[in-house]
Structure 1
Protein backbone atom coordinates (compact mmCIF):
# COMPACT_ATOMS: atom_id res chain seq x y z
CA UNK A 1 0.00 0.00 0.00
CA UNK A 2 1.35 3.42 -1.00
CA UNK A 3 1.71 5.82 1.92
CA UNK A 4 0.31 9.32 1.60
CA UNK A 5 2.80 11.93 0.47
CA UNK A 6 3.76 14.34 3.23
CA UNK A 7 3.99 18.12 2.82
CA UNK A 8 7.76 17.67 2.77
CA UNK A 9 7.47 15.10 -0.03
CA UNK A 10 5.30 17.48 -2.07
CA UNK A 11 7.67 20.39 -1.51
CA UNK A 12 10.64 18.31 -2.65
CA UNK A 13 8.74 17.20 -5.77
CA UNK A 14 7.81 20.77 -6.65
CA UNK A 15 11.36 21.99 -6.06
CA UNK A 16 12.77 19.19 -8.24
CA UNK A 17 10.33 20.04 -11.04
CA UNK A 18 11.25 23.73 -10.89
CA UNK A 19 14.96 22.91 -10.92
CA UNK A 20 14.48 20.65 -13.95
CA UNK A 21 12.57 23.36 -15.84
CA UNK A 22 15.12 26.05 -14.99
CA UNK A 23 17.98 23.79 -16.06
CA UNK A 24 16.31 22.88 -19.33
CA UNK A 25 15.45 26.51 -20.06
CA UNK A 26 19.01 27.64 -19.49
CA UNK A 27 20.30 24.88 -21.74
CA UNK A 28 18.13 26.37 -24.50
CA UNK A 29 19.70 29.79 -23.91
CA UNK A 30 16.95 31.36 -21.81
CA UNK A 31 17.82 33.84 -19.10
CA UNK A 32 16.22 32.55 -15.91
CA UNK A 33 16.90 34.45 -12.69
CA UNK A 34 13.48 34.65 -11.05
CA UNK A 35 11.55 31.44 -11.67
CA UNK A 36 8.04 31.65 -10.17
CA UNK A 37 5.55 28.83 -9.62
CA UNK A 38 2.18 29.89 -11.08
CA UNK A 39 0.29 26.66 -10.36
CA UNK A 40 1.02 23.43 -8.51
CA UNK A 41 -1.40 20.51 -8.54
CA UNK A 42 -1.26 17.75 -11.14
CA UNK A 43 1.35 19.84 -12.93
CA UNK A 44 3.87 22.39 -11.75
CA UNK A 45 3.62 25.50 -13.94
CA UNK A 46 6.64 27.79 -13.77
CA UNK A 47 7.29 31.21 -15.29
CA UNK A 48 10.97 31.18 -16.23
CA UNK A 49 11.27 34.90 -15.57
CA UNK A 50 12.45 37.22 -16.89
CA UNK A 51 12.14 35.17 -20.10
CA UNK A 52 8.60 35.23 -21.53
CA UNK A 53 8.37 31.44 -21.23
CA UNK A 54 6.27 29.16 -19.01
CA UNK A 55 7.20 25.53 -18.40
CA UNK A 56 4.51 23.01 -17.57
CA UNK A 57 5.79 19.89 -15.82
CA UNK A 58 3.29 17.09 -15.08
CA UNK A 59 4.08 15.55 -11.70
CA UNK A 60 1.00 13.42 -10.93
CA UNK A 61 -0.44 11.88 -14.06
CA UNK A 62 -1.97 8.48 -14.92
CA UNK A 63 0.72 7.64 -17.48
CA UNK A 64 3.83 9.08 -19.13
CA UNK A 65 2.62 12.25 -20.87
CA UNK A 66 5.10 12.37 -23.76
CA UNK A 67 2.81 11.32 -26.63
CA UNK A 68 -0.05 13.54 -25.69
CA UNK A 69 2.30 16.44 -24.96
CA UNK A 70 3.41 16.39 -28.59
CA UNK A 71 -0.21 16.30 -29.75
CA UNK A 72 -0.94 19.32 -27.56
CA UNK A 73 1.98 21.26 -29.01
CA UNK A 74 0.99 20.36 -32.57
CA UNK A 75 -2.67 21.31 -32.12
CA UNK A 76 -2.04 24.61 -30.35
CA UNK A 77 0.60 25.65 -32.85
CA UNK A 78 -1.84 24.89 -35.68
CA UNK A 79 -4.65 26.80 -33.97
CA UNK A 80 -2.38 29.79 -33.40
CA UNK A 81 -1.45 29.75 -37.09
CA UNK A 82 -5.16 29.88 -37.93
CA UNK A 83 -5.63 32.95 -35.76
CA UNK A 84 -7.52 31.13 -33.00
CA UNK A 85 -6.96 32.77 -29.59
CA UNK A 86 -4.80 30.22 -27.75
CA UNK A 87 -1.70 30.30 -25.58
CA UNK A 88 0.83 29.03 -28.13
CA UNK A 89 4.03 27.05 -27.63
CA UNK A 90 7.01 29.27 -26.98
CA UNK A 91 8.98 30.09 -30.14
CA UNK A 92 12.15 30.42 -28.04
CA UNK A 93 12.61 26.69 -27.36
CA UNK A 94 12.00 23.51 -29.39
CA UNK A 95 8.32 22.75 -29.89
CA UNK A 96 8.57 19.25 -28.49
CA UNK A 97 8.42 17.64 -25.06
CA UNK A 98 11.69 17.91 -23.18
CA UNK A 99 12.83 15.33 -20.65
CA UNK A 100 15.15 16.24 -17.80
CA UNK A 101 15.76 14.70 -14.38
CA UNK A 102 12.83 12.32 -14.78
CA UNK A 103 10.33 15.01 -15.78
CA UNK A 104 8.71 15.53 -19.21
CA UNK A 105 7.90 19.19 -19.81
CA UNK A 106 6.61 21.58 -22.43
CA UNK A 107 7.26 25.30 -22.89
CA UNK A 108 4.64 27.98 -23.58
CA UNK A 109 4.49 31.66 -24.31
CA UNK A 110 3.98 33.71 -21.14
CA UNK A 111 0.88 35.90 -21.16
CA UNK A 112 0.11 38.63 -18.64
CA UNK A 113 -3.14 37.81 -16.81
CA UNK A 114 -5.86 40.44 -16.70
CA UNK A 115 -6.91 39.58 -13.13
CA UNK A 116 -10.61 39.31 -14.01
CA UNK A 117 -12.84 36.57 -12.62
CA UNK A 118 -13.72 33.88 -15.19
CA UNK A 119 -17.11 34.18 -16.90
CA UNK A 120 -17.96 30.53 -17.39
CA UNK A 121 -21.18 31.24 -19.29
CA UNK A 122 -19.31 33.34 -21.84
CA UNK A 123 -16.54 30.74 -21.92
CA UNK A 124 -18.99 27.95 -22.69
CA UNK A 125 -20.40 30.03 -25.54
CA UNK A 126 -16.86 30.64 -26.89
CA UNK A 127 -16.17 26.90 -26.88
CA UNK A 128 -18.44 26.38 -29.89
CA UNK A 129 -16.18 28.65 -31.97
CA UNK A 130 -13.16 26.63 -30.84
CA UNK A 131 -14.87 23.44 -31.98
CA UNK A 132 -15.66 25.01 -35.34
CA UNK A 133 -11.98 25.85 -35.77
CA UNK A 134 -10.77 22.43 -34.60
CA UNK A 135 -12.84 20.68 -37.27
CA UNK A 136 -10.15 21.62 -39.77
CA UNK A 137 -7.18 20.23 -37.81
CA UNK A 138 -5.38 17.84 -40.18
CA UNK A 139 -3.28 15.83 -37.73
CA UNK A 140 -4.01 12.37 -36.30
CA UNK A 141 -5.70 12.02 -32.89
CA UNK A 142 -6.86 8.96 -30.99
CA UNK A 143 -10.53 8.33 -30.29
CA UNK A 144 -11.54 9.43 -26.77
CA UNK A 145 -8.02 9.10 -25.38
CA UNK A 146 -9.00 11.87 -22.95
CA UNK A 147 -11.26 9.36 -21.19
CA UNK A 148 -8.10 7.47 -20.17
CA UNK A 149 -9.82 4.04 -20.31
CA UNK A 150 -6.75 2.05 -19.34
CA UNK A 151 -6.25 4.29 -16.31
CA UNK A 152 -9.88 3.84 -15.25
CA UNK A 153 -9.62 0.05 -15.51
CA UNK A 154 -6.33 -0.14 -13.63
CA UNK A 155 -7.45 2.33 -10.98
CA UNK A 156 -10.66 0.49 -10.21
CA UNK A 157 -8.57 -2.66 -9.74
CA UNK A 158 -6.11 -0.81 -7.52
CA UNK A 159 -8.88 0.73 -5.42
CA UNK A 160 -10.01 -2.76 -4.41
CA UNK A 161 -6.92 -2.78 -2.23
CA UNK A 162 -7.65 0.70 -0.84
CA UNK A 163 -10.80 0.65 1.33
CA UNK A 164 -9.40 3.77 2.96
CA UNK A 165 -10.03 5.64 -0.31
CA UNK A 166 -13.45 4.34 -1.38
CA UNK A 167 -16.25 2.29 0.18
CA UNK A 168 -16.72 -1.21 -1.28
CA UNK A 169 -20.33 -0.49 -2.30
CA UNK A 170 -19.25 2.60 -4.23
CA UNK A 171 -16.49 0.67 -5.94
CA UNK A 172 -18.85 -2.16 -6.91
CA UNK A 173 -21.23 0.35 -8.47
CA UNK A 174 -18.42 2.10 -10.35
CA UNK A 175 -17.15 -1.23 -11.69
CA UNK A 176 -20.61 -2.21 -12.93
CA UNK A 177 -21.04 1.13 -14.70
CA UNK A 178 -17.59 0.87 -16.28
CA UNK A 179 -18.40 -2.55 -17.75
CA UNK A 180 -21.28 -0.91 -19.63
CA UNK A 181 -19.43 2.24 -20.67
CA UNK A 182 -15.99 0.84 -21.45
CA UNK A 183 -16.87 -0.68 -24.87
CA UNK A 184 -18.21 2.69 -26.07
CA UNK A 185 -15.08 4.49 -24.87
CA UNK A 186 -12.61 2.00 -26.33
CA UNK A 187 -14.21 1.44 -29.74
CA UNK A 188 -15.10 4.15 -32.22
CA UNK A 189 -17.24 1.64 -34.09
CA UNK A 190 -19.19 0.79 -30.94
CA UNK A 191 -19.69 4.48 -30.17
CA UNK A 192 -20.92 5.23 -33.69
CA UNK A 193 -23.30 2.28 -33.59
CA UNK A 194 -24.73 3.48 -30.26
CA UNK A 195 -24.94 7.13 -31.35
CA UNK A 196 -25.61 7.12 -35.11
CA UNK A 197 -25.22 10.47 -36.83
CA UNK A 198 -23.05 12.01 -34.09
CA UNK A 199 -19.99 13.43 -35.80
CA UNK A 200 -16.55 13.04 -34.27
CA UNK A 201 -13.90 15.73 -34.48
CA UNK A 202 -10.86 17.09 -32.61
CA UNK A 203 -11.95 18.45 -29.23
CA UNK A 204 -10.06 20.16 -26.41
CA UNK A 205 -10.44 17.19 -24.07
CA UNK A 206 -10.42 18.96 -20.69
CA UNK A 207 -13.36 21.33 -20.22
CA UNK A 208 -12.37 24.39 -22.26
CA UNK A 209 -14.84 26.66 -20.41
CA UNK A 210 -12.61 26.13 -17.35
CA UNK A 211 -9.40 26.51 -19.35
CA UNK A 212 -9.71 29.96 -20.85
CA UNK A 213 -7.12 32.40 -19.55
CA UNK A 214 -8.02 36.04 -19.23
CA UNK A 215 -5.01 37.99 -20.47
CA UNK A 216 -4.26 41.61 -21.29
CA UNK A 217 -4.45 40.51 -24.93
CA UNK A 218 -7.90 38.92 -24.55
CA UNK A 219 -9.36 35.53 -23.67
CA UNK A 220 -7.10 32.65 -24.66
CA UNK A 221 -7.79 28.90 -24.76
CA UNK A 222 -5.17 26.89 -22.87
CA UNK A 223 -4.25 23.43 -21.58
CA UNK A 224 -4.93 21.15 -24.52
CA UNK A 225 -3.02 18.28 -22.89
CA UNK A 226 -5.99 15.89 -23.29
CA UNK A 227 -6.80 16.88 -26.88
CA UNK A 228 -8.62 13.99 -28.52
CA UNK A 229 -10.99 12.86 -31.24
CA UNK A 230 -14.54 12.70 -29.92
CA UNK A 231 -17.99 14.25 -29.84
CA UNK A 232 -18.17 17.93 -28.91
CA UNK A 233 -20.19 16.92 -25.85
CA UNK A 234 -16.99 15.59 -24.27
CA UNK A 235 -15.83 19.18 -23.69
CA UNK A 236 -19.05 20.07 -21.83
CA UNK A 237 -19.12 17.05 -19.51
CA UNK A 238 -20.06 17.75 -15.92
CA UNK A 239 -21.27 21.31 -16.55
CA UNK A 240 -24.58 22.90 -15.62
CA UNK A 241 -27.66 23.29 -17.84
CA UNK A 242 -26.92 27.03 -17.95
CA UNK A 243 -23.51 26.38 -19.50
CA UNK A 244 -24.95 23.79 -21.90
CA UNK A 245 -27.47 26.38 -23.08
CA UNK A 246 -24.67 28.92 -23.52
CA UNK A 247 -22.75 26.45 -25.69
CA UNK A 248 -25.83 25.90 -27.85
CA UNK A 249 -26.12 29.67 -28.38
CA UNK A 250 -22.51 29.68 -29.50
CA UNK A 251 -23.13 26.71 -31.79
CA UNK A 252 -25.99 28.52 -33.51
CA UNK A 253 -23.72 31.50 -34.09
CA UNK A 254 -20.90 29.27 -35.36
CA UNK A 255 -23.23 27.29 -37.62
CA UNK A 256 -22.53 23.98 -35.85
CA UNK A 257 -24.83 21.49 -34.16
CA UNK A 258 -26.16 21.84 -30.62
CA UNK A 259 -25.39 19.37 -27.87
CA UNK A 260 -27.10 15.98 -28.03
CA UNK A 261 -28.78 15.00 -24.73
CA UNK A 262 -28.05 11.27 -25.11
CA UNK A 263 -24.35 11.87 -25.76
CA UNK A 264 -24.21 14.31 -22.86
CA UNK A 265 -25.54 11.62 -20.54
CA UNK A 266 -22.85 9.27 -21.83
CA UNK A 267 -19.93 11.68 -21.40
CA UNK A 268 -21.20 12.76 -17.99
CA UNK A 269 -21.27 9.13 -16.86
CA UNK A 270 -17.72 8.52 -18.13
CA UNK A 271 -16.55 11.74 -16.52
CA UNK A 272 -17.89 10.61 -13.16
CA UNK A 273 -15.95 7.35 -13.40
CA UNK A 274 -12.77 9.28 -14.22
CA UNK A 275 -13.32 11.14 -10.95
CA UNK A 276 -13.64 7.84 -9.09
CA UNK A 277 -10.47 6.58 -10.79
CA UNK A 278 -8.56 9.67 -9.73
CA UNK A 279 -9.00 8.59 -6.11
CA UNK A 280 -6.13 6.18 -6.82
CA UNK A 281 -3.85 9.23 -7.14
CA UNK A 282 -4.76 10.67 -3.74
CA UNK A 283 -1.79 9.07 -1.93
CA UNK A 284 0.54 10.95 -4.31
CA UNK A 285 -1.47 14.19 -4.12
CA UNK A 286 -3.56 14.20 -0.91
CA UNK A 287 -5.06 17.67 -1.44
CA UNK A 288 -6.85 16.57 -4.60
CA UNK A 289 -9.48 14.72 -2.56
CA UNK A 290 -11.16 18.03 -1.72
CA UNK A 291 -11.74 18.59 -5.45
CA UNK A 292 -13.00 15.04 -6.04
CA UNK A 293 -15.41 14.62 -3.13
CA UNK A 294 -18.14 17.03 -4.31
CA UNK A 295 -18.37 15.23 -7.65
CA UNK A 296 -18.39 11.83 -5.94
CA UNK A 297 -21.27 12.99 -3.72
CA UNK A 298 -23.19 14.02 -6.86
CA UNK A 299 -22.46 10.64 -8.43
CA UNK A 300 -23.80 8.79 -5.38
CA UNK A 301 -27.01 10.84 -5.53
CA UNK A 302 -27.83 10.24 -9.18
CA UNK A 303 -29.27 7.23 -10.94
CA UNK A 304 -26.86 5.75 -13.47
CA UNK A 305 -28.08 6.72 -16.99
CA UNK A 306 -26.53 3.65 -18.67
Structure 2
Protein backbone atom coordinates (compact mmCIF):
# COMPACT_ATOMS: atom_id res chain seq x y z
CA UNK A 1 0.00 0.00 0.00
CA UNK A 2 1.07 3.56 -0.62
CA UNK A 3 1.93 5.63 2.52
CA UNK A 4 -1.44 7.42 2.78
CA UNK A 5 -3.46 4.23 2.34
CA UNK A 6 -1.14 2.41 4.75
CA UNK A 7 -1.78 5.00 7.46
CA UNK A 8 -5.53 4.59 6.98
CA UNK A 9 -5.19 0.80 7.11
CA UNK A 10 -3.17 0.97 10.33
CA UNK A 11 -5.78 3.21 11.95
CA UNK A 12 -8.59 0.91 10.78
CA UNK A 13 -6.86 -2.10 12.32
CA UNK A 14 -6.15 -0.26 15.57
CA UNK A 15 -9.68 1.18 15.90
CA UNK A 16 -11.32 -2.17 15.16
CA UNK A 17 -9.30 -3.98 17.83
CA UNK A 18 -9.98 -1.27 20.40
CA UNK A 19 -13.70 -1.36 19.65
CA UNK A 20 -13.69 -5.12 20.28
CA UNK A 21 -12.13 -4.65 23.70
CA UNK A 22 -8.51 -5.47 22.90
CA UNK A 23 -5.67 -3.41 24.33
CA UNK A 24 -3.59 -1.62 21.69
CA UNK A 25 -0.74 0.71 22.66
CA UNK A 26 1.34 0.26 19.53
CA UNK A 27 1.05 -1.06 15.96
CA UNK A 28 3.95 -2.66 14.07
CA UNK A 29 3.70 -3.17 10.29
CA UNK A 30 4.79 -6.77 9.72
CA UNK A 31 4.07 -6.88 5.98
CA UNK A 32 2.93 -4.33 3.41
CA UNK A 33 1.64 -5.55 0.06
CA UNK A 34 -1.83 -5.40 -1.52
CA UNK A 35 -2.98 -6.02 2.05
CA UNK A 36 -1.07 -5.41 5.27
CA UNK A 37 -0.31 -7.47 8.36
CA UNK A 38 -0.13 -5.52 11.62
CA UNK A 39 1.11 -6.68 15.00
CA UNK A 40 -1.02 -5.08 17.71
CA UNK A 41 0.77 -4.64 21.04
CA UNK A 42 0.30 -5.59 23.88
CA UNK A 43 -2.76 -7.70 23.00
CA UNK A 44 -0.53 -9.74 20.63
CA UNK A 45 -2.97 -9.86 17.73
CA UNK A 46 -2.05 -10.01 14.05
CA UNK A 47 -4.52 -7.85 12.14
CA UNK A 48 -4.80 -8.51 8.43
CA UNK A 49 -6.17 -5.38 6.74
CA UNK A 50 -7.16 -5.21 3.06
CA UNK A 51 -9.17 -2.89 0.81
CA UNK A 52 -12.90 -3.64 0.80
CA UNK A 53 -12.60 -5.37 -2.59
CA UNK A 54 -10.98 -8.27 -0.71
CA UNK A 55 -14.09 -8.93 1.39
CA UNK A 56 -15.02 -12.23 -0.26
CA UNK A 57 -11.46 -13.54 -0.09
CA UNK A 58 -11.08 -12.47 3.55
CA UNK A 59 -14.33 -14.16 4.52
CA UNK A 60 -13.25 -17.32 2.71
CA UNK A 61 -9.90 -17.28 4.55
CA UNK A 62 -11.61 -16.94 7.93
CA UNK A 63 -13.92 -19.85 7.14
CA UNK A 64 -10.99 -22.04 6.01
CA UNK A 65 -9.08 -21.19 9.20
CA UNK A 66 -12.08 -21.92 11.41
CA UNK A 67 -12.70 -25.33 9.88
CA UNK A 68 -9.04 -26.35 9.83
CA UNK A 69 -8.53 -25.32 13.45
CA UNK A 70 -11.44 -27.60 14.41
CA UNK A 71 -9.61 -30.62 12.92
CA UNK A 72 -6.19 -29.77 14.36
CA UNK A 73 -4.44 -28.58 11.20
CA UNK A 74 -1.03 -26.88 11.55
CA UNK A 75 -2.38 -23.40 10.77
CA UNK A 76 -2.31 -19.99 12.40
CA UNK A 77 -5.51 -19.53 14.39
CA UNK A 78 -7.98 -16.69 14.58
CA UNK A 79 -7.86 -14.69 17.81
CA UNK A 80 -10.11 -16.55 20.27
CA UNK A 81 -11.18 -13.37 22.12
CA UNK A 82 -13.34 -12.06 19.28
CA UNK A 83 -15.97 -13.54 16.97
CA UNK A 84 -14.43 -15.43 14.03
CA UNK A 85 -15.58 -13.05 11.31
CA UNK A 86 -14.35 -10.25 9.08
CA UNK A 87 -14.83 -6.70 10.32
CA UNK A 88 -15.47 -3.79 7.92
CA UNK A 89 -14.22 -0.27 8.69
CA UNK A 90 -13.36 2.80 6.59
CA UNK A 91 -13.29 0.95 3.23
CA UNK A 92 -11.11 -1.82 4.72
CA UNK A 93 -11.79 -5.40 5.75
CA UNK A 94 -10.06 -6.61 8.89
CA UNK A 95 -9.53 -10.09 10.32
CA UNK A 96 -7.87 -10.68 13.69
CA UNK A 97 -5.46 -13.57 14.25
CA UNK A 98 -3.25 -14.93 17.00
CA UNK A 99 0.24 -13.43 16.79
CA UNK A 100 3.03 -16.02 16.86
CA UNK A 101 6.55 -14.97 17.81
CA UNK A 102 8.79 -16.42 15.06
CA UNK A 103 11.57 -18.86 15.95
CA UNK A 104 14.83 -17.96 14.27
CA UNK A 105 15.91 -21.37 12.97
CA UNK A 106 15.09 -22.40 9.37
CA UNK A 107 12.50 -25.12 8.88
CA UNK A 108 14.22 -28.35 7.82
CA UNK A 109 12.89 -30.01 4.62
CA UNK A 110 11.69 -33.07 6.57
CA UNK A 111 9.77 -30.88 9.03
CA UNK A 112 8.35 -28.83 6.15
CA UNK A 113 7.13 -32.01 4.44
CA UNK A 114 5.64 -33.31 7.70
CA UNK A 115 3.69 -30.06 8.19
CA UNK A 116 2.39 -30.26 4.62
CA UNK A 117 1.42 -33.92 5.02
CA UNK A 118 -0.55 -33.09 8.20
CA UNK A 119 -2.11 -30.07 6.53
CA UNK A 120 -3.26 -32.14 3.54
CA UNK A 121 -4.66 -34.80 5.90
CA UNK A 122 -6.65 -32.11 7.74
CA UNK A 123 -7.93 -30.67 4.46
CA UNK A 124 -9.30 -34.10 3.56
CA UNK A 125 -11.44 -33.95 6.71
CA UNK A 126 -13.35 -30.79 5.77
CA UNK A 127 -15.91 -30.05 3.08
CA UNK A 128 -15.41 -26.71 1.39
CA UNK A 129 -16.45 -25.17 -1.91
CA UNK A 130 -13.11 -24.09 -3.39
CA UNK A 131 -12.01 -23.41 -6.99
CA UNK A 132 -9.73 -25.75 -8.90
CA UNK A 133 -6.21 -24.44 -9.37
CA UNK A 134 -6.74 -24.51 -13.14
CA UNK A 135 -9.22 -21.65 -12.65
CA UNK A 136 -6.20 -19.65 -11.50
CA UNK A 137 -4.37 -20.66 -14.68
CA UNK A 138 -7.35 -19.62 -16.79
CA UNK A 139 -7.43 -16.21 -15.09
CA UNK A 140 -3.74 -15.65 -15.75
CA UNK A 141 -4.18 -16.71 -19.37
CA UNK A 142 -7.00 -14.20 -19.75
CA UNK A 143 -4.74 -11.43 -18.44
CA UNK A 144 -2.02 -12.42 -20.90
CA UNK A 145 -4.33 -12.58 -23.93
CA UNK A 146 -6.12 -9.30 -23.14
CA UNK A 147 -3.82 -6.42 -24.08
CA UNK A 148 -5.90 -4.02 -22.01
CA UNK A 149 -5.10 -6.04 -18.89
CA UNK A 150 -1.39 -6.38 -19.73
CA UNK A 151 -0.49 -3.43 -22.03
CA UNK A 152 3.27 -3.52 -21.30
CA UNK A 153 3.78 -7.22 -22.06
CA UNK A 154 5.99 -7.55 -25.21
CA UNK A 155 4.47 -9.54 -28.06
CA UNK A 156 7.07 -12.33 -27.95
CA UNK A 157 6.64 -12.82 -24.20
CA UNK A 158 2.86 -12.61 -24.56
CA UNK A 159 2.93 -15.46 -27.08
CA UNK A 160 5.34 -17.48 -24.91
CA UNK A 161 3.30 -17.09 -21.73
CA UNK A 162 0.02 -17.70 -23.56
CA UNK A 163 1.30 -20.92 -25.14
CA UNK A 164 2.77 -22.07 -21.81
CA UNK A 165 -0.38 -21.45 -19.77
CA UNK A 166 -2.75 -22.95 -22.35
CA UNK A 167 -0.50 -25.98 -22.88
CA UNK A 168 -0.12 -26.71 -19.17
CA UNK A 169 -3.82 -26.17 -18.57
CA UNK A 170 -4.58 -28.86 -21.14
CA UNK A 171 -2.17 -31.26 -19.44
CA UNK A 172 -3.65 -30.68 -15.97
CA UNK A 173 -7.23 -30.95 -17.22
CA UNK A 174 -6.87 -34.59 -18.31
CA UNK A 175 -6.86 -36.32 -14.91
CA UNK A 176 -8.40 -35.08 -11.65
CA UNK A 177 -9.08 -38.35 -9.82
CA UNK A 178 -6.43 -37.68 -7.16
CA UNK A 179 -7.37 -34.05 -6.54
CA UNK A 180 -8.15 -32.73 -3.07
CA UNK A 181 -8.30 -29.46 -1.15
CA UNK A 182 -4.90 -27.74 -1.04
CA UNK A 183 -3.31 -24.79 0.70
CA UNK A 184 -2.74 -23.26 -2.73
CA UNK A 185 0.50 -21.35 -2.04
CA UNK A 186 2.47 -23.08 0.76
CA UNK A 187 5.77 -21.37 -0.11
CA UNK A 188 8.31 -20.61 2.67
CA UNK A 189 6.84 -17.15 3.22
CA UNK A 190 3.52 -18.78 4.17
CA UNK A 191 4.96 -21.23 6.72
CA UNK A 192 5.84 -19.74 10.10
CA UNK A 193 8.37 -21.39 12.38
CA UNK A 194 6.85 -21.00 15.85
CA UNK A 195 7.21 -22.52 19.32
CA UNK A 196 4.16 -24.65 18.40
CA UNK A 197 6.01 -25.92 15.32
CA UNK A 198 5.51 -24.92 11.66
CA UNK A 199 2.16 -23.21 11.01
CA UNK A 200 0.66 -22.27 7.64
CA UNK A 201 -0.78 -18.80 7.03
CA UNK A 202 -2.48 -17.03 4.07
CA UNK A 203 -5.28 -19.57 3.80
CA UNK A 204 -7.31 -17.59 1.25
CA UNK A 205 -5.42 -19.39 -1.54
CA UNK A 206 -7.13 -22.70 -0.69
CA UNK A 207 -8.09 -24.53 -3.90
CA UNK A 208 -8.46 -28.02 -5.36
CA UNK A 209 -5.84 -29.94 -7.25
CA UNK A 210 -3.13 -32.59 -6.89
CA UNK A 211 -0.88 -32.42 -3.80
CA UNK A 212 2.00 -31.89 -6.25
CA UNK A 213 0.69 -28.37 -6.93
CA UNK A 214 1.34 -27.50 -3.29
CA UNK A 215 4.72 -29.26 -3.28
CA UNK A 216 5.77 -27.18 -6.29
CA UNK A 217 5.61 -24.07 -4.06
CA UNK A 218 7.96 -25.55 -1.46
CA UNK A 219 11.77 -25.83 -1.71
CA UNK A 220 12.73 -28.73 -3.97
CA UNK A 221 14.19 -30.79 -1.10
CA UNK A 222 10.80 -30.96 0.63
CA UNK A 223 9.32 -33.32 -1.97
CA UNK A 224 12.01 -35.90 -1.18
CA UNK A 225 10.41 -36.32 2.26
CA UNK A 226 6.78 -36.44 1.06
CA UNK A 227 5.80 -40.08 0.50
CA UNK A 228 4.04 -40.90 -2.76
CA UNK A 229 4.72 -37.61 -4.55
CA UNK A 230 4.90 -37.66 -8.36
CA UNK A 231 8.11 -35.77 -9.10
CA UNK A 232 7.41 -35.36 -12.81
CA UNK A 233 4.07 -33.74 -11.97
CA UNK A 234 5.79 -31.49 -9.43
CA UNK A 235 8.11 -30.21 -12.16
CA UNK A 236 5.14 -29.42 -14.42
CA UNK A 237 3.32 -27.70 -11.55
CA UNK A 238 6.43 -25.65 -10.81
CA UNK A 239 6.51 -24.46 -14.41
CA UNK A 240 2.83 -23.52 -14.10
CA UNK A 241 3.54 -21.60 -10.89
CA UNK A 242 6.30 -19.51 -12.45
CA UNK A 243 4.05 -18.81 -15.45
CA UNK A 244 1.27 -17.69 -13.10
CA UNK A 245 3.56 -15.44 -11.09
CA UNK A 246 4.99 -13.95 -14.28
CA UNK A 247 1.56 -13.30 -15.82
CA UNK A 248 0.34 -11.53 -12.68
CA UNK A 249 3.32 -9.18 -12.69
CA UNK A 250 2.35 -7.93 -16.16
CA UNK A 251 -1.17 -6.98 -15.16
CA UNK A 252 -1.84 -3.27 -15.40
CA UNK A 253 -3.20 -3.11 -11.85
CA UNK A 254 -0.35 -5.09 -10.24
CA UNK A 255 1.45 -3.20 -7.48
CA UNK A 256 4.10 -5.63 -6.25
CA UNK A 257 7.26 -3.72 -5.26
CA UNK A 258 10.13 -4.03 -7.76
CA UNK A 259 7.82 -5.74 -10.24
CA UNK A 260 10.10 -4.76 -13.16
CA UNK A 261 12.77 -7.08 -11.78
CA UNK A 262 10.31 -9.89 -11.12
CA UNK A 263 8.83 -9.66 -14.61
CA UNK A 264 12.21 -10.61 -16.07
CA UNK A 265 13.20 -13.04 -13.30
CA UNK A 266 10.04 -15.12 -13.43
CA UNK A 267 9.97 -15.31 -17.22
CA UNK A 268 13.48 -16.78 -17.00
CA UNK A 269 12.32 -19.24 -14.35
CA UNK A 270 9.42 -20.34 -16.55
CA UNK A 271 11.85 -21.19 -19.35
CA UNK A 272 14.18 -23.06 -17.00
CA UNK A 273 11.29 -25.01 -15.45
CA UNK A 274 9.95 -26.00 -18.86
CA UNK A 275 13.39 -27.24 -19.89
CA UNK A 276 13.63 -29.35 -16.72
CA UNK A 277 10.37 -31.16 -17.45
CA UNK A 278 11.06 -31.56 -21.18
CA UNK A 279 8.48 -29.02 -22.33
CA UNK A 280 10.82 -26.24 -23.43
TM over 0.5: yes
2:240 to 266, 270, 274: 270
Query: Is residue 2:27 matched to residue 1:35?
Result: yes
Q: Is the 8 A contact 1:84 1:130 kept in 2?
A: yes
What is the deviation of 1:36?
0.8
Q: Which residue pairs with 2:175 in the alignment?
A: 195
Q: Aligned to 1:33, what secondary structure does the other structure show?
A: strand
1:230 to 209, 217, 220: 209
Query: Is residue 2:5 matched to residue 1:13?
Result: yes
Output the CA distance in 1 between the equivalents of 2:258 and 2:196. Answer: 33
Q: Which residue pairs with 2:155 in the alignment?
A: 168
| Structure with bigger RCO (C-alpha 8 Å, 6+ apart) | 1
Output the CA distance in 2 between the equivalents of 1:98 and 1:155. Answer: 34
2:80 to 88, 91, 102: 91
* Residues 116 and 52 (structure 1), Cα distance of their counterparts in 2 relative to 1, 3 Å cut: same
Q: Is the 8 A contact 1:34 1:50 kept in 2?
A: yes
Q: Which residue pairs with 1:69 in the alignment?
A: 58
Q: What TM-score comes out, normalization by structure 2 length? A: 0.84
Q: Which residue pairs with 1:260 in the alignment?
A: 230
Q: Is the 8 A contact 1:31 1:51 kept in 2?
A: yes
Output the CA distance in 1 between the equivalents of 2:141 and 2:21. Answer: 40
Q: Is the 8 A contact 1:123 1:208 kept in 2?
A: no
* Residues 117 and 242 (structure 1), Cα distance of their counterparts in 2 relative to 1, 3 Å cut: closer
Q: What TM-score comes out, normalization by structure 1 length? A: 0.78
Gaps of 5+ in 1: 1-8, 186-190, 249-257
Superposition pairs of residues 1-306 of structure 1, within 5 angstroms: 10-58=2-50, 64-144=53-133, 147=136, 149-158=138-147, 162-163=151-152, 166-182=153-169, 191=173, 194-195=174-175, 198-207=177-186, 209-248=188-227, 258-279=228-249, 280=251, 284-291=255-262, 293-301=264-272, 302-303=274-275, 305=279
What is the deviation of 1:108?
0.6
Q: Is the 8 A contact 1:146 1:227 kept in 2?
A: no
Gaps of 5+ in 2: none
Indicate the RMSD between aligned Cα atoms, in angstroms: 2.9
Output the CA distance in 2 between the equivalents of 1:93 and 1:151. Answer: 37
Count of equivalent residues: 276
Q: Aligned to 1:127, what secondary structure does the other structure show?
A: helix
Output the CA distance in 2 between the equivalents of 1:45 and 1:223. Answer: 11
Q: Is the 8 A contact 1:39 1:46 kept in 2?
A: yes
Output the CA distance in 1 between the equivalents of 2:264 and 2:253. Answer: 11
* Residues 287 and 101 (structure 1), Cα distance of their counterparts in 2 relative to 1, 3 Å cut: farther
